[in-house]
Structure 1
Amino acid sequence: MGHEPLAPWIEPAVAFMVGCCLGSFYNVVIYRWPRGESIVSPPSRCPACGAFIRWYDNLPLISFVLLRGRCRQCRQAISWRYPAVELLTGLMTSGLFHVFGWSASFFVFFAFGTLLLLIAFIDLDTYLIPDVLSLGGLVLGLGTSLVSPHITWVDSVTGAVLGGGLFFAVAWGYEQWRKHEGLGGGDIKLLAMIGAFIGWKGVVFTVFVSSVVGAAVGLLVMARSRQGLVTRIPFGPFLSLGAMCYVFWGERLAKWYCESLGL
């Protein structure tokens, strides 16, 4: 007797749950890595009171809801970042499976998405992008292009050069104009990494989306802070958002745009 096929929702659900569990670990990396702490030991603990978190209080998403967003010991509020990272990782994993299945592209883009997620939230916390993530990702993106079905190594190298060169030129021009740094070196390396994974078309798409969204958010932040152009806003999260939008929808949007122009 043959085995009945799995229900169509089971594999995406498994991918979502695995992603949430990995997101829980990513929270550890995001919090500890910039502080120079080990990401392996000691076990997870409350940032407020230092109490160790038991396994049943560390279930992705579920524990946050059951504890009503507070530490069991000291009752201090738990940052919404923790469930947000878990949920985003779960959605990313399930979404990538939906688009690519269990293919080589899935694993390449999952590694890419993981790097972007870590970079985005570390940049939000510290205004710094660790070189080990951006430059390590650059090497990984160039390396996987040799065997990847979605990009050639020529497109990967072109994307990395365009991404790094484009933002270097923008950063240099802004510094000459304003006499202080606008874009950091971390953003330049990040866009080079993005180009290595998704090519020059992905770089153009990412810059467009990140600029539009970043400008909108920046105006809101500047209005609230009343600091004008000197307001510090990390750009890594917007670049990461733009790059993942390209992974999921970029080629279809580009095709629709070209068809609408009759190209």
Structure 2
Amino acid sequence: MELLDSPLGIAAAGLLGLLVGSFLNVVIHRLPRMMERRWALECAEMTGQPVPDQPPLNLLHPRSRCPSCGTGIAWYQNMPVISYLLLRGRCAACGTRIGWRYPFVELLTGGLFAWVFAQHGMAWPTLAWFGFVGALIALAFIDWDTTLLPDDITLPLVWAGLIAAAWGWSGIALAEALWGAVGGYLSLWLVYWVFKLATGKEGMGYGDFKLFAALGAWFGWQALIPMILMASVIGAVIGITMKFSSGLREGGYIPFGPFLAFAGLAALIVGPGQLLTWVGL
């Protein structure tokens, strides 16, 4: 047990995080496509149209391939970070550049896993916070790419937060977690409807409500204001910067989910109270 709580244990947690980060890259890429297939299948069944015949696609099959040339990626070319460096950021078959985000997600997950283990050691809360970290990273990048926050991740994250509170893993009382989930959902739901009634436009999606409910379940209702303030400030700064640099996507909007996820990870590391200081309150 002492060995696991030593720097060696922290390094092992970081290595686990690198491996999980590699899997998260698969989730980020494939889950939206799996959702699109599911929606197309449901629409075909409801309208009586022929069900499209497509090859199986899930998080495990088919094995990873280069999106440019379609060549399968061997296991030794898929090692977190190391393979990216050895291949110099390019596909071994066609030479197409591999995005920097793949090793970034792996390093981010590995660093956060190591930090969580350093704080909690070999204990059940460590596994709970590992799941929290992985879910937020996946949600942040999926939302940035597609403006979708999948129920497949947000809803289990809400329930996991409540369960973690009930079992004493998150460090807050179950009542605080419950009201955090309620307050997180209803607060953004009200903002959504006020904005829609005033402008006739939708300022955010229902996935944002669920993600904020999940953060409330993990940190309690007291943490909602610091997290929403931090997410709003960072989102505004990045949005203004992208507007002046002509970096906004069509429609002139950016998703809010990544900033909520960042605020949740910041609350994990420094605590919700410190977030108020960071935004100047």
TM-score, L = length of structure 1: 0.90
Match of 2:197 among 164, 170, 176: 176
Structure 1 letter corresponding to 2:221: W
Match of 1:107 among 105, 108, 127: 127
User: Which residue of the partner structure matches residue 40 of structure 1?
Assistant: 60
User: Which residue of the partner structure matches residue 141 of structure 1?
Assistant: 161
User: Which residue of the partner structure matches residue 149 of structure 2?
Assistant: 129
CA 1:78/1:140 → structure 2, altered by over 3 Å: closer, same or farther? same
Structure 1 letter corresponding to 2:223: G
Residue 98 of structure 1 pairs with residue 98 of structure 2? no
User: Which residue of the partner structure matches residue 14 of structure 2?
Assistant: 16
Distance in 2 between residues matched to 1:205 and 1:113, nearest whole Å: 19
CA 1:6/1:129 → structure 2, altered by over 3 Å: closer, same or farther? closer
User: Number of residues paired by the alignment?
Assistant: 256
CA 1:197/1:76 → structure 2, altered by over 3 Å: closer, same or farther? same
CA 1:102/1:204 → structure 2, altered by over 3 Å: closer, same or farther? farther
Contact 1:222 1:228 in 2 (8 A): no
What displacement does 1:12 show? 1.4
Distance in 1 between residues matched to 2:148 and 2:233, nearest whole Å: 22
Match of 1:218 among 231, 239, 252: 239
Structure 1 letter corresponding to 2:226: F
2:245 alignment partner, SS class:
helix
What displacement does 1:135 show? 1.3
Structure 2 letter corresponding to 1:183: M
Contact 2:22 2:80 in 1 (8 A): yes
Task: List structure 1 segments (4+ residues) > 3 angstroms apart after TM superposition.
Answer: 3-8, 226-230, 254-257
User: Which residue of the partner structure matches residue 166 of structure 1?
Assistant: 187
CA 1:227/1:27 → structure 2, altered by over 3 Å: closer, same or farther? closer
Contact 2:230 2:276 in 1 (8 A): no
1:225 alignment partner, SS class:
coil
Larger mean CA deviation between 89-98 and 6-15 belongs to 6-15
Structure 1 letter corresponding to 2:147: Y
Contact 2:112 2:133 in 1 (8 A): yes
Distance in 2 between residues matched to 1:162 and 1:244, nearest whole Å: 19
Structure 2 letter corresponding to 1:211: S
Distance in 1 between residues matched to 2:249 and 2:80, nearest whole Å: 39
Larger mean CA deviation between 202-211 and 190-199 belongs to 202-211
Structure 2 letter corresponding to 1:93: F
Structure 1 letter corresponding to 2:216: G
Match of 1:59 among 66, 70, 79: 79
TM-score, L = length of structure 2: 0.85
Distance in 2 between residues matched to 1:57 and 1:228, nearest whole Å: 33
2:91 alignment partner, SS class:
coil
1:165 alignment partner, SS class:
helix
User: Which residue of the partner structure matches residue 232 of structure 1?
Assistant: 253
What displacement does 1:143 show? 2.0
Name stretches of at least 5 consecutive residues in structure 1 with no aligned partner.
none
Percent identity over paired residues: 38
What displacement does 1:44 show? 1.1
Contact 1:222 1:229 in 2 (8 A): no
User: Which residue of the partner structure matches residue 28 of structure 1?
Assistant: 26
Match of 2:214 among 166, 185, 193: 193
Distance in 2 between residues matched to 1:4 and 1:155, nearest whole Å: 34
User: Which residue of the partner structure matches residue 48 of structure 2?
Assistant: none
